[in-house]
Amino acid sequence: MTVRITVDGAAYEVEEGRTLLQALDDLGVLMNGVEVPHYCWHPKLSIDGSCRLCQVEVEGVPKLQIACDTRVTDGMVVHTKSERVRKAREGVMELLLVNHPLDCPICDQAGECKLQDYAFEYGVQHSRSREPRRALEKRVELGPTIVLDQERCILCRRCVRFCREVPGTGELVVENRGDRSVIAAFPGAPLDNDYSMNVADICPVGALTTKDFRFKMRVWFLDELPGVCTGCSAGCNIHAGVANNRVYRYVPRRNDAVNETWICDAGRMSYREIGSASRIHHPQVRGADGRLTAAGLGDALAVAAARLRAAIEGGGAEAVAVLASPHATNEDLLALRRFLAALGAPPESAGVAVPTGASDDLLLREEKAANAFGARALGFGGADAVIERVRSGAARVLLALGHDILAPAHLRGDVSALALLDGVILLDTHRSALERIAHVVFPARHALEKLGTLTNAAGRVQRVQPVVEPAFAAWSEGEILLRLGEALALPGFEEPAAWDPHAVSKSLGEELPAFAGIDVDSVGHEGLPLRGESA
Amino acid sequence: MGLKVPHTTNYLTEHFGDDGFVSLKGYEAQGGYEAARKALTRMQPEKLIELVKDSGLQGRGGAGFPTGLKWSFMPKDEDRPRFLVCNADESEPGSFKDRILLERGPHQLIEGILIAAWAVGAEKTFLYIRGEYSEPARVMQQAIAEAGESGYLGQGAMGTNFSHEVVLVRGGGAYICGEETGLLESLEGKKGQPRKKPPYPAEFGAFGMPTTVNNVETFCHVPHIVRRGAEWFRGIGTEKSPGTTIFGVSGHVVRPGLYELPLGTSLEQIVFGHAGGVPGGREIKGVIPGGMSMPILPAAELDVPMANESLRERQTMLGTGGIMVMDDTTCMVRVGCVIAHFFRDESCGQCTQCREGTGWMEKILNRIERGAGEEGDLEILLDVSAKMEGATICAFADAAAWPIQGLLRHFRDDFEMHLRHHRCPFHEGFRL
Amino acid sequence: MVKAVKPKKAAKSGAISGATRKRIAEEMQKFPQKRGALLEALHLVQEELGCIAPETARELAEIFEMRAVEVMEVVSFYNMFHAAPQGRHHVHVCTNLPCSLRGGRSLLRRLEEHLGIRAGETTPDGRITLGREECLGACAYAPMLRIGDTYHENLGVELAKKLLDSLE
- For residue A374, the surrounding DSSP H or E stretch is helix A372-377
**At residue C45, what are phi and psi to the nearest 5 degrees?**
-70, -40
Are residues A296 and A198 part of one domain?
no
DSSP assignment string, A80-95: SSSHHHHHHHHHHHHH
- Beta-carbon separation of A184 and C69 below 8 A: yes
Give the C-alpha separation, A108 to A268, whole Å: 18
For chain B, the average pLDDT equals 96
DSSP assignment string, A216-261: T--GGG-EEEEEE--SSTT--EEEEEEETTEEEEEEE--BTTTTBT
Q: Which of A453, A429, A437, A473 is nearest to A525 (CA)?
A: A453
Number of residues that this document lists for chain B: 432
The residue of chain C nearest to residue B339, with distances taken between CA atoms, is C97
Strands in A391-458 per DSSP E: 397-401, 423-428, 440-443, 452-455
Give the C-alpha separation, B121 to B39, whole Å: 13
Parallel, antiparallel or unpaired: strands A423-428 and A440-443: parallel
Instruction: Kindly state the average pLDDT of the residues B86-108.
Output: 97
Are residues A307 and A167 part of one domain?
no
Which is more confidently placed, B156 or C38? C38
Give the C-alpha separation, A143 to A138, whole Å: 15
Instruction: Kindly state the average pLDDT of the residues B145-157.
Output: 95
Max intra-chain CA distance, chain C: 49
Give the C-alpha separation, A19 to A74, whole Å: 12
CATH of domain C89-165: 3.40.30.10
**Angle at CA C8, nearest 5°, toward C3 and C14?**
150
The residue of chain C nearest to residue B248, with distances taken between CA atoms, is C140
Q: How far A326 CA sits from the closest chain B CA (Å)?
A: 49
- Beta-carbon separation of B349 and A51 below 8 A: no
- Beta-carbon separation of C101 and B132 below 8 A: no
The model's pLDDT over A184-222, given as tens digits with 9 standing for 90+, comes to: 999 999 999 999 999 999 999 999 999 998 878 888 889
Q: Which of A49, A57, A129, A111 is nearest to A87 (CA)?
A: A57
Give the C-alpha separation, A444 to A456, whole Å: 21
CATH of B19-234, one of 3.40.50.11540, 1.10.730.10, 3.40.50.1970, 3.40.50.2300: 3.40.50.11540
- Fold of the CATH domain B332-421: de novo design (two linked rop proteins) (1.20.1440)
Parallel, antiparallel or unpaired: strands A320-324 and A351-352: parallel
Q: How far A186 CA sits from the closest chain C CA (Å)?
A: 5
Give the C-alpha separation, A123 to A189, whole Å: 41
Report if residue A527 sits inside a domain: no
Q: How far B96 CA sits from the closest chain C CA (Å)?
A: 4
- Beta-carbon separation of A170 and C68 below 8 A: no
Q: What is the 3-state secondary structure (H, E, C) of B328-397?
A: CCCCHHHHHHHHHHHHHHHCCCCCHHHHHHHHHHHHHHHHHHHCCCCCCHHHHHHHHHHHHCCCCCCCHH
Give the C-alpha separation, A435 to A446, whole Å: 16
Report if residue A140 sits inside a domain: yes
> Which amino acid would we find at residue B171?
G
Range of the domain at A493: 284-447+473-499
Contact assessment for residue A304 and residue A273, using Cβ atoms and an 8 Å cutoff = no
Give every strand in the sheet of A76-79, ordered side by side: A10-15, A2-7, A76-79, A55-58, A65-66
- Beta-carbon separation of C77 and A173 below 8 A: no
The residue of chain C nearest to residue A190, with distances taken between CA atoms, is C69
Report if residue A102 sits inside a domain: no
- Classify the C-alpha dihedral A365-A371-A373-A375 as positive or negative: negative
Query: pLDDT value at position B78?
Result: 85
Are residues A303 and A259 part of one domain?
no
Instruction: Kindly state the average pLDDT of the residues B17-40.
Output: 96
How many domains does chain A divide into?
A: 3
Exposed / middle / buried, residue A289 (Cβ in 10 Å: 0-12, 13-18, 19+): exposed
Give the closest of A128, A176, A179 to B359, CB-based: A179
Residue B225 banded pLDDT, cuts 50, 70, 90? very high
Are residues A332 and A269 part of one domain?
no
Report if residue A431 sits inside a domain: yes
Percent of chain B that is helix, strand, coil (3-state, to 5): 45, 15, 40
pLDDT of residue C3 exceeding 80, the answer is no
- Beta-carbon separation of C78 and B81 below 8 A: no
The residue of chain B nearest to residue C79, with distances taken between CA atoms, is B173
In a 13 Å sphere around the CA of B134, the CA atoms on its Cβ side amount to: 11
> Which amino acid would we find at residue B182?
G
A420 touches C at CB < 8 Å? no
Chains contacting C (3 or more CB pairs within 8 Å): A, B
Which residues from chain C sit within 8 angstroms of residue A174, using beta carbons? Answer: 73
Domain limit, last residue, from A95, A123, A145: A95
3-state secondary structure of A441: strand
Within 8 A by CB and 6+ apart from B25, the residues are: none
Give the C-alpha separation, A145 to A227, whole Å: 23
C18-77 belongs to which homologous superfamily? Answer: NADH-quinone oxidoreductase subunit E (1.10.10.1590)
Which residues from chain C sit within 8 angstroms of residue B292, using beta carbons? Answer: 96-97, 135
pLDDT of residue B3 exceeding 80, the answer is no
Domain chopping of chain C, boundaries: 18-77, 89-165
Give the C-alpha separation, B260 to B281, whole Å: 26
The residue of chain A nearest to residue B347, with distances taken between CA atoms, is A178
C167 touches B at CB < 8 Å? no
Contact assessment for residue C37 and residue C6, using Cβ atoms and an 8 Å cutoff = no
Are residues A439 and A294 part of one domain?
yes
Report if residue A510 sits inside a domain: no
Give the closest of A51, A95, A134 to B357, CB-based: A95
Percent of chain A that is helix, strand, coil (3-state, to 5): 30, 20, 50
Report if residue A227 sits inside a domain: yes
- Beta-carbon separation of C54 and A187 below 8 A: yes
- Beta-carbon separation of B190 and C35 below 8 A: yes
pLDDT of residue C1 exceeding 50, the answer is no
pLDDT of residue C2 exceeding 60, the answer is no
In a 13 Å sphere around the CA of A11, the CA atoms on its Cβ side amount to: 5
pLDDT of residue C10 exceeding 50, the answer is no
Domain limit, last residue, from A273, A300, A328: A273
Within 8 A by CB and 6+ apart from B87, the residues are: B61, B128, B178, B180, B183, B213, B214, B215, B216
Query: pLDDT value at position A533?
Result: 81
Contact assessment for residue B288 and residue B294, using Cβ atoms and an 8 Å cutoff = yes
Give the C-alpha separation, C1 to B32, whole Å: 38
Contact assessment for residue A31 and residue A42, using Cβ atoms and an 8 Å cutoff = no
- Beta-carbon separation of C69 and A174 below 8 A: no
- Fold of the CATH domain B244-274+282-327: Ubiquitin-like (UB roll) (3.10.20)
The model's pLDDT over A340-390, given as tens digits with 9 standing for 90+, comes to: 999 999 999 999 999 999 999 999 999 999 999 999 999 999 999 999 999
Contact assessment for residue A204 and residue A54, using Cβ atoms and an 8 Å cutoff = no
pLDDT of residue B149 exceeding 80, the answer is yes
Give every strand in the sheet of B211-215, ordered side by side: B165-170, B124-129, B83-88, B211-215
Contact assessment for residue A437 and residue A415, using Cβ atoms and an 8 Å cutoff = yes
A91 touches B at CB < 8 Å? yes
Contact assessment for residue A122 and residue A90, using Cβ atoms and an 8 Å cutoff = yes
Domain containing residue A240: CATH number: 3.30.70.20
Contact assessment for residue B179 and residue B87, using Cβ atoms and an 8 Å cutoff = no
**pLDDT tens for chain A, residues 1 to 535:** 999 999 999 999 999 999 999 999 999 999 999 999 999 999 999 999 999 999 999 999 999 999 999 999 999 999 999 999 999 999 999 999 999 988 888 888 888 889 888 888 876 767 788 899 999 999 999 999 999 999 999 999 999 999 999 999 999 999 999 999 999 999 999 999 999 999 999 999 999 999 998 878 888 889 999 999 999 999 999 999 999 999 999 999 999 999 999 999 999 999 999 999 999 999 999 999 999 999 999 999 999 999 999 999 999 999 999 999 999 999 999 999 999 999 999 999 999 999 999 999 999 999 999 999 999 999 999 999 999 999 999 999 999 999 999 999 999 999 999 988 999 999 999 999 999 999 999 999 999 999 999 999 999 999 999 999 999 999 999 999 999 999 999 999 988 789 999 999 999 999 999 999 999 999 999 999 999 887 6
Are residues A481 and A421 part of one domain?
yes
Are residues A322 and A257 part of one domain?
no
Query: pLDDT value at position C4?
Result: 46
Neighbours of B396 (CB within 10 A): 25
- Beta-carbon separation of A172 and C69 below 8 A: yes
Domain chopping of chain B, boundaries: 19-234, 244-274+282-327, 332-421
Which residues from chain A sit within 8 angstroms of residue C77, using beta carbons? Answer: 176-177
DSSP secondary structure letter of residue B271 = I
Domain containing residue A35: CATH number: 3.10.20.740
Give the C-alpha separation, A346 to A175, whole Å: 63
Give the C-alpha separation, B326 to B403, whole Å: 14
Which residues from chain B sit within 8 angstroms of residue C134, using beta carbons? Answer: 91, 93, 175, 342, 345-346
Neighbours of B163 (CB within 10 A): 13
Q: How far A254 CA sits from the closest chain B CA (Å)?
A: 28
Domain containing residue A443: CATH number: 3.40.50.740
Q: How far A187 CA sits from the closest chain C CA (Å)?
A: 7
Report if residue A13 sits inside a domain: yes
Which residues from chain C sit within 8 angstroms of residue A164, using beta carbons? Answer: none
- Classify the C-alpha dihedral A346-A347-A348-A353 as positive or negative: positive
Q: How far C79 CA sits from the closest chain A CA (Å)?
A: 10
Are residues A307 and A233 part of one domain?
no
Give the C-alpha separation, B60 to B221, whole Å: 10
The model's pLDDT over A284-297, given as tens digits with 9 standing for 90+, comes to: 999 999 999 999 99
Q: Which of A22, A175, C2 is nearest to B191 (CA)?
A: A175
The residue of chain B nearest to residue A64, with distances taken between CA atoms, is B391
For chain C, the average pLDDT equals 92
Query: pLDDT value at position A534?
Result: 74
Parallel, antiparallel or unpaired: strands A460-464 and A237-243: unpaired
Strands in B272-336 per DSSP E: 284-288, 297-298, 322-327
Which residues from chain B sit within 8 angstroms of residue A98, using beta carbons? Answer: 356, 359-360
Give the C-alpha separation, C34 to C36, whole Å: 5
C11 touches A at CB < 8 Å? no
Cβ pairs bridging A and C (under 8 Å): 31
Residue B1 banded pLDDT, cuts 50, 70, 90? very low
Which residues from chain B sit within 8 angstroms of residue C100, using beta carbons? Answer: 338, 430
Give the closest of C79, C100, C133 to B430, CB-based: C100
The residue of chain A nearest to residue C69, with distances taken between CA atoms, is A186
**Angle at CA B320, nearest 5°, toward B316 and B321?**
75
Neighbours of A4 (CB within 10 A): 13
Chains contacting B (3 or more CB pairs within 8 Å): A, C
* Interface probe, candidates A179, A181, A183, chain B, greatest B C-beta count within 10 A: A179
Which residues from chain C sit within 8 angstroms of residue B91, using beta carbons? Answer: 134-135, 137
Give the closest of A50, A64, A88 to B350, CB-based: A50
